[in-house]
Structure formats: structure tokens, C-alpha cells
């Protein structure tokens, strides 16, 4: 029977969602807005480039001629951030005077050999509330650091952590794990029926163009799952007009024992183009300072096809990505008696996007859609000994995912307005539990099959509106957003029988940004979030990476009140970003242990608070030092116990240097304090310090040689605060050869 909602009645919720949707039908008059054209340092147009006003949310895509209209542009002078169509960072352009009736050029600066973007208040595609720090991990940085997983690509950012050091590790922002940090790939949600949350562990960094990270409550455009922030991985879009080929081969030893290879080709077809990427890698069990860590190996492979087609002034682009993972181990302390691994993980994703400028009174309209399938098998194996025989407990889960987001931008006088609808969900979820028993000789004896989830589905229907308006010139700006969600879940058969839920709520934010100096801004923000539990939190029963899991169909949705304060700016060669936050989450969904089972329950209220620092000092044009740090803590207010997944005090120093053209080196020093505040199913773990280094030489476009070393001093430390933790990888190095022509 339907679960009783603790909020408004269903008809009332639906009427409010319908009211918000009506914003898309607003009658608007044509705008006499200024037109700009993005050109490179040689005066060539950059078709499809994305341009964002610094300090404002979101960006606008240029048409195939490189032309665009900026919505509600401030009075000059002001600065804009420019991105390639794929999301790659191209630089900052200062606008000294408003465009005339003719098109004015936005001339990009020369390509920089060293890229540092501490906090430019801008993202290629994400709509980020003003107080939320926005960071970009560029293609250049990915190539120089050689991360092996998505979580490693973003580990240098303050307030960002990961669930553990395994190949299935999950990114966590501001301690909000287990489905509260939204992971996206090319504008589509990454979902997983894993209790720790989505990881995109199958994703190979070779195929990434950039990664955008928003720390703080997700914009209302993204709704549920974004309480902590957003990690958006972007793959390259094809380039029209030129044929290209790129490659990479890599091999590692020690704590990074992998072999990998990838190749990509860009093919123009008239005014259109498509790109194909193939990649594969294999990782053996890694070495910790105490020796080989068994059950840590993995193999994976994939392909990506993307195409782009100009349609008049509009652009249509589509992509298909297939990723397969085999025998992914899950290191754990109880390995001598129990082994957990993932025999297979598969992701198939079809994405479609459309950018249309100047239509129906909007300066731009964007459509982003995605449909995919995801399957994962978990095997928790009881190892044989003198008194027991081998037994395999297998959970086989698969489902289909979908999302459609339509966004329109326009100006209303001096105000910028963004309205849209967002529908996303998961359908056809099935979960089978298979138990195979064996005799003392290792021969199969019995097989038991249990249907944990016969058929389950979840649909989130949302509509949103947000905008920003100057209050006192451009010195004080008010930005606000509102979203309405209606979420339904349905479960048929399986362990919990026929059940359903229907819930809804409003979420949103309001922020005031004050320019205390030409390049310094302070922003205060209040936000309210809403998160519905995952299908597996409610309806799944079976083995997981950390034991046996039993869902709770009576869970209710979480709501949050979030308060953020930030100061960001630059003075000459010094840039500074300082952020503070307090989040209170009501009806927190918590995983806890009862005997050998992992169960779920709602707690009354949790509070997570913290401070983050990020600064950079450009000593020379090619030598930059970054200082980063975070302090945070979380408590369950019911009984004053510590909340799980919260990062202990952490400090980092990152040095990025290119002493002369072609040669570069990077160094990262990270120190993490002792974690004395374990949450549920966690333990106290010691602190540690670690040094990572990378260096390389760009001989030409045809060949770059890179050597990246992690944990150079071979320090011993826990891979997580989980009670089943193991030692993290010790000293390891990866040698990579890459190039393009």
C-alpha cells in the first residue's frame, strides 16, 4: 500500500509542480540583447564555445558561427569564462564595453602552458548557486597527473574525499556520501544500487575532457541526490573541419600495477563530425607497505562514440558509451574467511543534446536527455577451512535509467531568468540472490535462488525556476531558485512484496553576493534540499561489498537546511577562496549494523559543518603554488554520536611548474589528521602524510612522456575509516606515452 507522506497531499503537490512548469509557457517579447562572437588568438571563430559571466550561474553555448547572446549582462567592465564545446577550459576574457548593434568579438588569450583555476565562479554546463565553490579539473591536469579512477581525478580539491582506496571507490563531497553526492557523465546521472553510492568506477580517465565539481547544495536544476555537491565528468565532443588521432599507452608497478591503452579518432563529415574512442586496462593486486593486498585486481574496457551535427544555428550532439568491468576485487580485513568481489559490472549509456539559440523569446534553449542500462553482480564468498566448505552468495542486479532536462534562458530587464523541467528515474530494477554450496572437494552440491526485487521503479518529476537580479547596480546581486519535485516508487514482489511510495517537496536557495572590491566578492546563501531514498535502500535484500544488507520499505525522504558563506577574489598573483557551511539534515537515512546484517533507518537530525580554504600564488607565469585545507565535523543530534563519512582535518600543498617549454612537474603534499570521530560502522584510524609526484616532457604533439608516482615515501595508512579497512596502496608509479596527430 502507498506509504503515507508527511508533507502535503498528492493533488496539492502536483498542482504546484504544474504551476512551476507553466514558467516554460511564459509569453515573452523578443530581446534586443548584445551579440558576441568567440574567436581564438588568431581571430578564428570557436563554434559551440560556452561562455559564462563570472559570478553568475550557468553558461550559454555559441552557435556554429561562434556567436551568442549573453543574458542580463552586467555593466562593463566585466569578465567571462570561456570553455570549449567539450567543457575544456579556454580562459578568461575581459569585456571593456557593451557590444554594439553589430557582433563584438570575445578574443581568447593565448593557450597557457600551466593551467590553474582555483575558483573562477564559473562552470561549463552546471548551474551552481553563487556560494558554492566551482572547480575544474582540466584535460592538461588529467594528462599530467595520470589518475586511474574518477575519484583520483578530483582528490586535490578541499572538502572532497572518497569512500576507500579500492577500484570501486565512491566520491564524497563535504561528508555527504551514500547517494547524497550527485555524479554525472555528459549531463546524465550515474546511478548504482550500491549502498555506498554511485562511483562510475568503470570510467577510464583517458576518455575524459574535463571534470567539473560543485561543492555545496546542488542547484535546483538537479534536484535530489545533490545535497553535498555535484561531480560532472565530460567526454570530448568531436571537432568539425579536421581529422585527428590520439593515443595513450601506460604501465605501472608497485601500488599502481596496471597496464592500459587507449586510442581515439576524430573524423569530420561535411559540416558534422564524429569521434570514436576505444580503451582497455588491467590492474593486478596492488602492493601496500605490508605486502601484496589480495583481492584488489580488476580488468575493464570500453568504447565511446560521439557525434555533432549543426542544424542551422542549432547544434545536435549524441553519444553512446559502453563500459565493462570484470573481476573487480574489494579488499577487506576479513579476507582470510570471506572474499567479496564484483564478477561483472556493465554500463551502456545513450545521450542526446540540443542547443538552440534565440528561440521563443529565450536567448537559448538546451535539451539534455539520457537513457542507459546498468548491471552489477556482487559475490560474497565464504572460504573453505577445516570446519566449513566453500559457499558463493551472489547478488545480481540490473536496471534501466533515464533523464530528460529542458532549460530555457532569457533576460527580464537587468535580471537573468532560467526555467526548466527535469524528469529522471530508474525502471525495471531486478535483483536475484543466488547461493551456491560446495562439498569438501569443491564440487557443487546445491543452488538456491531468491528473488530479492522482482520489479521496481522510481520516477522524479521536477520543475524549476531560478534567476539573478542586481539590487544596487552590480555591487549587490540577489540570486534565487525554486524547484518542485514529485517522486514515486513502486516495488512488485520480491522480499518486501508489493509496496509503493509517493512523496514530494519544494527545494530551493537564496543568495546575496556583495562586491567588496572590484575582484573580491562575499556571498551568503541559504538552501533547502530534498532527497528520496534509493530503491535498494527501501526494497533490496542480499549481499553487498561489506556484508548482508536488508532494506527498509518504511524509510521517509530526507530534507535539509543548508547555510553557506564564501569569500573569493584575487589580488595580483594571489587568489583566495574561503568557504564555511552548516548543513542540517532531517530524517537522515543511516546504515547501521545489527549482528551480521547491515540495516537502514531514519535518524531525527544530523548536522555537518565545516570550513574550506583554497588559495594559489603565481610566483612566475609558469610556477604556481596552491594551498588547500578543510576542517569539518558531523553529529547525529539525537544522541550526539558522530556522523559517518565526514573527512578529518586535511591540508594540501600543490606545486605546478613548467620551468621551460615542454618540461613540467607537479608535486602534491597531503596531510590527514587522526580520525577520532568514527560514525556508525566506522573505527578510529591514524593520520598520515603522503607525497605524490609527476613529471613529463612534451617532445611534440606526437609524443609526451609522463611519469607519475603516488605515495613516494611508501607511507602506511588505512584505506578508509570502515571497520573492515585494509592498508592503502604503497609506493607506485605509472609511465605513460601519449600523443596526437
pLDDT (tens digit per residue) in 596-628: 888 999 988 999 999 999 999 999 888 999 999
What is the Cα–Cα distance from 606 to 638, expressed in whole angstroms? 8
Under CATH, which number does the domain 32-215 receive?
Answer: 2.60.40.1120
In this predicted structure, the answer to whether residue 19 has a pLDDT above a threshold of 60 is: no
424 phi and psi, to 5 degrees?
A: -145, 160
Q: Are 147 and 138 in contact (CB under 8 A)?
A: no
- Residue 82 C-alpha cell reads as 570561456
Say how many C-beta atoms besides its own lie within 10 A of residue 407's C-beta: 20
Mind listing the pLDDT tens digit for each residue in 710-733? 999 999 999 999 888 999 999 999
**pLDDT tens digits, residue range 351-380?**
999 999 888 888 899 999 999 999 999 999
**Beta-bridge partners for 261:** 249, 280
Task: Tell me which of 591 and 233 has the higher pLDDT.
Answer: 233
410-424 tens-digit pLDDT: 888 888 899 999 999
Predicted local distance difference test score (pLDDT) of residue 111: 63
- Secondary structure (3-state) at 145: helix
In whole angstroms, what is the distance from residue 421 CA to residue 463 CA? 4
Contact predicate 159/612, CB 8 Å: yes
- Which position has the higher pLDDT, 517 or 693? 693
User: From residue 614, how far is each of 227, 228, 231, 520, 668 by CA, in Å?
Assistant: 21, 18, 18, 15, 14
Determine the Cα–Cα distance for residues 83 and 89; give it in Å rounded to an integer: 5
Please return the burial class of 516, using the count of CB atoms within 10 Å of its CB with bins 0-12, 13-18 and 19+.
exposed
What's the pLDDT at 150? 93
Q: 342 and 296 in contact (C-beta within 8 Å)?
A: no
Q: Are strands 181-185 and 229-234 parallel, antiparallel or unpaired?
A: parallel
- Rounded Cα distance between 84 and 331, Å, is 39
pLDDT, greater one: 192 or 345:
345
Reduce the secondary structure of 605-642 to three states and give it as a string: EEEEEEEEEEEEEEEECCEEEEEEEEEEEEEECCCCEE
Would you say residue 30 has pLDDT above 50?
no
> 91 and 394 in contact (C-beta within 8 Å)?
no
pLDDT at residue number 5: 39
CA atoms of 669 and 674, how far apart (whole Å): 17
Predicted pLDDT of residue 241? 84
Strands 160-162 and 623-636: unpaired
- Under a CB-based contact definition with an 8 Å cutoff, are residues 596 and 619 in contact? no
Residues 177, 197 contacting (CB under 8 angstroms): yes
Rounded-to-integer distance, Cα 185 and Cα 715, Å: 33
Mean pLDDT of the chain: 89
For cell 579512477, what's the residue?
149
Contacts of 455 (CB under 8 A, 6+ apart): 428, 429, 430, 491, 492, 493, 494
Between CA 39 and CA 107 the distance in angstroms is 5
Which are the contacts of 637, defined by CB distance < 8 A and separation ≥ 6?
584, 604, 605, 606, 607
Whole-number pLDDT of residue 332: 87
pLDDT tens per residue, range 318-332: 999 999 999 999 998
> Are 524 and 511 spatial neighbours (Cβ–Cβ below 8 Å)?
yes
pLDDT bin (cut points 50, 70, 90) of residue 23 is very low
Residue with grid cell 595508512, as numbered in its chain: 717
For residues 670-708, one letter each, b for 16 or more C-beta atoms within 10 angstroms of the residue's C-beta and e for the rest, the string is: bebeebebbbbbbeebeebebbbbbbbebeeeeebebeb
Question: Has residue 113 got a pLDDT over 60?
Answer: no
Return d(Cα 423, Cα 433) in angstroms, integer. Answer: 31
Mean pLDDT calculated for residue range 401-414: 91
Least confident of 11-20, 74-83, 322-331, 370-379: 11-20
Q: What is the pLDDT of residues 459-489, one digit of tens each?
A: 999 999 998 888 877 789 999 999 999 999 9
Comparing C-alpha atoms, which of 91, 85, 49 is closest to residue 66?
49
pLDDT of 92 reads 83
pLDDT at 472: 77
User: Given pLDDT bands bounded at 50, 70 and 90, which one contains residue 91?
Assistant: confident
Instruction: Dig out the grid coordinates for 361 from the structure.
Output: 523569446
From CA 689, how far away is CA 711, in angstroms rounded?
Answer: 9
State the cell numbers at 502. 509517493
Spatial CB neighbours of 195, under 8 Å, sequence gap ≥ 6 = 178, 536, 537, 544, 546, 549, 591, 598
- Does the pLDDT value for residue 28 go beyond 70? no
Distance CA 39, CA 205 (A): 29
Of the pLDDT bands very low, low, confident and very high (cuts 50, 70, 90), residue 666 is very high
- For residue 193, what pLDDT band results from cuts at 50, 70 and 90? low
Q: What is the pLDDT of residue 715?
A: 97
CB 358 within 8 Å of CB 313: yes
In this predicted structure, what is the pLDDT of residue 298?
A: 97
User: Would you list the domain boundaries of the chain?
Assistant: 32-215
Distances (CA, A) of 18 to 23, 397, 459, 461, 525: 9, 34, 16, 10, 27
Q: Is the pLDDT of residue 3 over 70?
A: no
Neighbours of 649 (CB within 10 A): 16
pLDDT in tens, 553-574: 999 999 999 999 999 988 989 9
**Four-point Cα dihedral 415, 421, 426, 427, nearest 10:** 180
Amino acid at each position: 500500500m502507498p506509504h503515507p507522506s508527511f508533507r502535503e497531499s498528492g493533488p496539492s503537490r502536483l498542482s504546484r509542480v504544474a504551476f512551476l512548469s507553466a514558467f516554460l509557457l511564459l509569453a515573452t517579447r523578443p530581446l534586443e540583447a548584445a551579440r558576441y562572437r568567440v574567436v581564438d588568438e588568431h581571430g578564428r571563430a570557436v563554434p559551440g564555445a560556452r561562455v559564462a559571466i563570472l559570478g553568475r550561474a550557468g553558461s550559454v553555448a555559441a552557435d556554429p558561427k561562434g556567436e551568442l547572446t549573453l543574458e542580463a549582462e552586467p555593466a562593463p567592465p566585466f569578465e567571462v569564462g570561456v570553455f570549449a564545446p567539450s567543457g575544456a577550459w579556454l580562459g578568461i576574457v575581459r569585456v571593456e564595453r557593451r557590444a554594439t548593434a553589430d557582433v563584438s568579438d570575445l578574443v581568447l588569450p593565448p593557450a597557457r602552458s600551466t593551467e590553474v583555476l582555483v575558483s573562477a565562479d564559473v562552470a561549463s554546463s552546471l548551474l551552481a548557486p553563487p556560494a558554492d565553490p566551482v572547480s575544474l579539473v582540466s584535460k592538461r591536469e588529467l594528462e599530467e597527473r595520470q589518475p586511474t579512477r574518477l575519484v583520483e581525478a578530483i582528490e586535490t580539491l578541499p572538502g572532497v574525499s572518497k569512500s576507500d582506496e579500492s577500484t570501486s571507490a565512491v566520491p564524497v563531497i563535504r561528508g555527504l556520501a551514500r547517494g547524497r553526492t550527485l555524479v554525472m557523465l555528459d549531463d546524465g546521472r550515474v546511478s548504482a544500487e550500491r549502498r555506498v553510492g554511485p562511483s562510475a568506477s568503470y570510467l577510464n580517465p583517458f576518455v575524459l575532457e574535463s571534470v567539473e565539481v560543485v561543492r555545496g547544495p546542488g542547484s535546483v536544476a538537479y534536484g535530489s541526490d545533490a545535497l553535498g555537491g555535484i561531480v560532472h565528468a565530460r567526454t570530448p565532443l568531436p571537432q568539425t573541419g579536421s581529422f585527428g588521432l590520439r593515443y595513450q599507452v601506460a604501465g605501472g608497478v608497485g601500488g599502481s600495477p596496471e597496464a592500459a591503452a587507449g586510442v581515439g579518432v576524430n573524423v569530420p563529415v561535411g559540416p558534422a563530425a564524429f569521434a570514436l574512442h576505444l580503451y582497455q586496462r588491467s590492474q593486478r593486486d596492488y602492493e601496500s607497505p605490508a605486502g601484496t593486498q589480495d583481492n584488489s585486481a580488476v580488468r575493464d574496457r570500453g568504447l565511446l562514440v560521439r557525434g555533432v551535427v549543426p542544424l542551422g544555428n542549432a547544434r545536435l550532439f549524441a553519444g553512446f558509451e559502453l563500459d565493462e568491468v570484470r573481476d573487480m576485487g574489494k579488499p577487506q580485513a576479513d579476507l582470510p574467511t570471506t572474499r567479496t568481489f564484483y564478477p561483472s559490472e556493465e554500463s551502456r549509456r545513450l545521450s542526446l543534446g540540443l542547443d538552440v539559440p534565440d528561440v521563443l523569446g529565450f536567448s537559448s534553449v538546451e535539451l539534455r536527455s539520457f537513457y542507459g542500462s546498468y548491471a552489477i553482480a556482487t559475490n560474497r564468498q565464504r572460504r573453505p577451512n577445516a570446519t566449513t566448505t566453500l559457499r558463493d552468495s551472489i547478488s545480481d542486479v540490473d536496471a534501466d535509467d533515464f533523464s530528460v532536462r529542458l532549460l530555457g534562458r532569457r533576460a527580464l530587464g537587468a535580471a537573468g531568468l532560467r526555467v526548466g523541467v527535469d524528469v529522471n528515474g530508474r525502471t525495471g530494477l531486478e535483483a536475484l540472490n543466488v547461493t551456491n554450496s560446495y562439498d569438501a572437494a569443491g564440487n557443487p552440491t546445491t543452488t538456491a535462488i531468491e528473488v530479492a526485487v522482482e520489479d521496481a521503479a522510481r520516477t522524479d518529476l521536477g520543475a524549476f525556476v531560478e534567476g539573478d537580479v542586481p539590487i544596487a547596480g552590480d555591487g549587490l546581486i540577489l540570486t534565487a531558485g525554486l524547484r518542485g519535485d514529485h517522486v514515486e516508487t513502486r516495488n512488485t514482489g520480491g522480499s518486501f512484496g508489493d509496496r509503493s511510495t509517493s512523496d514530494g517537496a519544494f527545494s530551493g536557495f537564496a543568495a546575496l553576493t556583495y562586491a567588496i572590491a572590484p575582484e573580491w566578492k562575499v556571498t551568503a546563501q541559504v538552501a533547502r534540499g530534498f532527497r528520496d531514498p534509493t530503491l535498494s535502500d527501501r526494497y533490496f535484500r542480499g549481499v553487498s561489498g561489506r556484508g548482508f544488507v536488508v532494506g527498509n520499505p518504511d524509510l521517509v525522504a530526507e530534507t535539509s537546511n543548508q547555510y553557506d558563506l564564501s569569500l573569493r577574489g584575487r589580488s595580483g598573483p594571489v587568489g583566495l577562496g574561503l568557504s564555511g557551511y552548516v548543513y542540517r539534515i532531517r530524517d537522515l537515512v543511516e546504515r547501521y549494523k545489527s549482528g551480521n546484517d547491515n540495516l537502514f533507518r531514519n535518524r531525527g537530525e544530523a548536522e555537518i559543518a565545516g570550513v574550506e580554504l583554497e588559495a594559489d600564488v603565481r610566483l612566475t607565469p609558469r610556477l604556481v603554488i596552491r594551498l588547500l585545507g578543510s576542517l569539518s565535523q558531523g553529529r547525529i543530534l539525537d544522541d550526539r554520536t558522530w556522523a559517518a563519512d565526514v573527512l578529518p582535518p586535511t591540508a594540501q600543498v600543490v606545486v605546478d611548474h613548467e620551468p621551460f617549454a615542454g618540461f613540467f612537474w607537479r608535486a602534491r603534499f597531503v596531510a590527514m589528521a587522526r580520525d577520532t570521530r568514527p560514525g556508525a560502522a566506522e573505527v578510529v584510524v591514524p593520520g598520515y602524510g603522503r607525497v605524490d609526484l609527476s613529471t613529463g616532457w612534451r617532445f611534440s604533439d606526437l609524443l609526451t612522456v609522463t611519469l607519475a608516482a603516488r605515495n613516494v615515501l611508501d607511507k602506511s595508512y588505512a584505506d578508509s575509516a570502515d571497520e573492515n579497512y585494509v592498508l592503502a596502496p604503497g609506493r607506485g608509479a605509472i609511465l605513460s606515452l601519449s600523443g596526437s596527430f
